[in-house]
Chain A
Amino acid sequence: MPGNGSTMTRVQRDLLMGVLLLVFAISFYALSYLFSGYEIEGLPKDVGPTFLPRLVLAVLVLESIFLIFFSLRGNGKIPADSEKQKPLWHSRPVIMFGAFLVYVYLATLFGYIASTIAFLILSFYLLGVHKVWQLVVVPPAITLATYYLFETLLDVYLPSGSLF
């Protein structure tokens, strides 16, 4: 059967996603009883502002149960294989995301130019660009080009901070 290679993994992932979505949907369904504000009185036969959120979350609960059910049903049938060992995430996206988070924070502190140059140098290096001239020339060039394009030519406001 085509795609068997990844099916076992997919089954486990579907199961995990099904459980997460079920918890998510039930939690938010319960939270829908805590809505603040008021409904406008006297509207003729309006289903009200809680109708769609609750309907959608009830459907999501149902779909999550189906997802779990089909995952469990498929689990016994489909053999595991080498794809099972594939990790759910790799270290590089995690590191890049961490660097991006720090970049966003630093951009508000030190401004777009300084933080972007630092972020680009770091991320190029982390992703395997090790030639010194590329690390020295490309990040400032990209930063200044984007700064000029957005801030000067297009009047798009970029974060400014204590540096520049």
Chain B
Amino acid sequence: MIQDLVAGWGAVLNIKLILILLFSVPLGITVGVLPGIGATVGVAVLLPLTFGMDPVLGICMLIAVYCGAFYGGAVSAILINTPGTPAAICTILDGFPMAQKGEAHKALTAAVAASFIGGIFSVLILTFCAPLIAKVALKFSYTEYFAIAAFGIIMVITSSSRTSFLKGLVMGTFGLFLACIGQDKMGTMERFTFGILDLSRGVPLLPVLVGLFAISQALLLTEQGARKVDLEKMERKAGLWSVFKLLGNFKMTLLKSSLIGTGIGAIPGTGAAISSFVAYSEAKRASKWPERFGTGYIEGVVASESSNNSVTGGALIPLLTLGIPGDPITAIMLGAFLVHGLIPGPMLFVESGPFVYAIFATMLVTYFLVLAYGYFGAYPFASILKVREAILVPIILVISFIGAYAVNSSLFDVGLALIFGVVGYFFTKFEFPLAPIVMGLILGPIAEEGLRQSLMVSDGSWTIFMTKPISAVFLSATVLIMVHKAYVLLFPKDSS
């Protein structure tokens, strides 16, 4: 472990990577600042940039964009009352009132300082916990993988369907159907390929991601009129050190929020918006002055930002240790790993230890850069909000084309991205969540292989899933969540 740690840091303390991070962090903050773009679309659009890079440089670049974008969401939340990313939705509650009181700079400084603390906290947890989890995961058999995949799918469905559990369920099932397309891995049977050779290896992940998250979002952006940007003035400058000293008064809030963010982030399918809500509510509940929350109280900004940034480290735990992405952003990163021939999972720690530790080290460096860029460049970043959709949309479409085309130089992939762009556009218009489709597509093959191999091992006995403790726990949790959600769906409170 120590050798890998040293080798990982060695890979990061490299002028090429440092230059890439210096460029990627502001890029991440920029995409985070722009409402409608955000971390998911930003990482999807920037993914093609990594194709020609060395794997370490490419993945670390995406990590930097990912972490930067989470802070970027706070800038627009505080200055124009619109979260750049869903994760910053609670930051609005106190951040914008602070800006209206002339404390915009103080709110932004508190946001970046809390983001820094939350981010660093989660990276430390990731660095120490991920190798331990990977060690345990090395002993997992197909049975455990089936159970974890089933749990992951149901968690994504549950958490991404704000309007209806049923819609999430439909989308998750649709994703599982997509995962069934292609040649059967344990035989030669062609499933729903219609003789198309490109489909034999299944529906490729990258065009689906580009279509669902970049092209569909670009089409949706064209519907919006010009964004009215009325930036709150920054009358008083707040010193970074004085804000850090102020944050000393909220040590418990910082600790609890960072723990909540890291913990929630580590559960597949949850995400930063949920952690932000939970941390904000907990901070308000535990506060001596709960009535101050929502009126421009700095503790609200601190709770929300430390929590949503600590999700970044947490969300990488299932991806790196089990190969199971926790949310759409880590799903896109999974795509990047696969493009570079890296398969996330416990074996990654064995075969590419230095690479894994380079990711951890990159995240630490990234958060220091977020702090520096965030403190000194908050207002220049905010001015990016003035860039019109008319300029952004065509650029997103052009880069989406490159992203879909470049991996295999295949027009089939571009066609697929176009189809999923339209599918994503209509599903979003119809208020059907997109994340479960991706999770179904990614986890479907893991679940199918796990199911079939386990049944072969047990000679067809389904009890194998309940006799192994980890599998039993995850499957029981999956069934309980399903039953609870089905009950709520069939017997809603307001109909009684």
Contacts and interface: CB of A to CB of B under 8 A. Distances in A.
Interface of A: 1, 10, 13-14, 16-17, 21, 25, 28, 31-32, 35-40, 43-47, 49-53, 56-57, 59-60, 63-64, 66-67, 70, 88-90, 92-93, 96-97, 100-101, 103-104, 107-108, 116, 119-120, 123-124, 127-129, 138, 142-143, 146, 149-150, 153-159
B451 A123 contact: no
A90 B391 CA distance: 19
Contact of B397 (A60, A123, A157): A123
Contact of B166 (A63, A101, A108, A142): A63
Contact of A156 (B402, B421, B459): B402
Contacts of A123: 393-394, 397
Contacts of A155: 52
B478 interface: no
A31 B430 contact: no
Contacts of A116: 398
Given A10-B431, A63-B170, A149-B49, A120 B390 contact: no
Contacts of B167: 14, 67
B170 A124 contact: no
A46 B456 contact: yes
B191 A35 contact: yes
A141 B218 CA distance: 21
B432 interface: yes
Chain A interface helix/strand/loop/mixed: helix
A45 B166 contact: no
Contact of B184 (A37, A44, A100): A37
Q: Which range contains the number of B residues in contact with the other chain? A: 35 or more
Interface of B: 48-49, 51-53, 163, 166-167, 169-170, 173-174, 176-177, 180, 183-184, 186-192, 215, 218-220, 222-223, 226, 388-391, 393-395, 397-399, 401-402, 405-406, 409, 411, 414, 418, 421-422, 425-426, 429-432, 444, 447-448, 451-452, 455-456, 458-460, 489, 494
Given A120-B398, A127-B390, A129-B391, A156 B406 contact: yes
B408 to A, nearest CB: 10
Contacts of B399: 146
A96 B177 contact: no
B167 to A, nearest CB: 8
A159 B190 CA distance: 31
Nearest to B400: A100
Nearest to A97: B219
Given A49-B187, A156-B51, A66 B394 contact: no
